[in-house]
Amino acid sequence: MILCPGCFVDYLLPAIVNQTQEIIRICNECNCIVYQKDGCIKTTNLTTFMEERGLPDLWSELTLLDIGETAEEETYENTKNLFPTIGE
Ligand SMILES: [Zn+2]
């Protein structure tokens, strides 16, 4: 479980953006998004992220991934599993 860097209350859930197939992390509490671009980790929010892609800022545009995370609390800077690989 990766603690949200936006609100420090909830956790960042892994998800896929349906239209772009990007793997991101999103917070259920504050809509903070952590994503990867050009090898860098970036943080933004759902509205900005979706606007940049010309998509509506709706959770229905995302598919949450169930990767069976441990209950151990991590920060997004320290985790090794920020963006899980899928289809393995
Ligand atoms: Zn949050």
pLDDT for position 65: 94
pLDDT, tens only, 11-42: 999 999 999 999 999 999 999 999 999 989 99
3 CA to centre of ligand 1 in angstroms? 8
Query: With b meaning 16 or more CB within 10 Å and e meaning fewer, what string describes 36-75?
Result: eeeeeeebbbbeebbeeeeeeeeeebbeebeeebeeeebe
pLDDT for position 42: 95
32 CA to centre of ligand 1 in angstroms? 5
pLDDT, tens only, 62-72: 999 988 888 89
26 CA to centre of ligand 1 in angstroms? 8
71 CA to centre of ligand 1 in angstroms? 17
19 CA to centre of ligand 1 in angstroms? 23
66 CA to centre of ligand 1 in angstroms? 18
Average pLDDT, the chain: 93
- Percent of the chain past pLDDT 70, that is, above it, reads 97
